[in-house]
Amino acid sequence: MTSESDDYMPVKYRTRLVDVVNQIGGASMHQIKVQLSNKKGHSQMLLSPAETVEAIQENSSAWVYADNQKIDPGQVDEANLSTVSNVRIVSGLVGGC
């Protein structure tokens, strides 16, 4: 199989390992590394922007960080996440004595 043949599947990788854009069937597929931490534990997933918005909406009372910047969960949509490579969803901290 050579790069000139029609059966060679082109693959593009950006500089960040967690932000992989693959050329699949002519459509780009952006994936976001999502880290979810709550009282049940910790999990990591690779999700599409639409799936990431869904995860954020399911945890609307949590604190959400996109590429280490705190964001408002109520104002997130797919367009906001088009350049994001990492999202953290964590339970809000409560302080006091």
What confidence score (pLDDT) does residue 27 get? 56
The residue extents of the domains of the chain are: 31-90
What confidence score (pLDDT) does residue 38 get? 82
Report the distance separating Cα 82 and Cα 32, nearest Å.
9
Class of domain 31-90: alpha beta
Q: What is the 3-state secondary structure (H, E, C) of the chain?
A: CCCCCCCCCCCCCCCCCCCCEEEECCEEEECEEEEEEECCEEEEEEECHHHHHHHHHHCCCCEEEECCEEECHHHCCCCCCCCCCEEEEECCCCCCC
Answering whether pTM is above 0.85, one says no
Q: What is the mean pLDDT of each run of 10 residues along the chain (97 residues)?
A: 48 42 57 91 93 93 94 90 94 78
What confidence score (pLDDT) does residue 49 get? 94
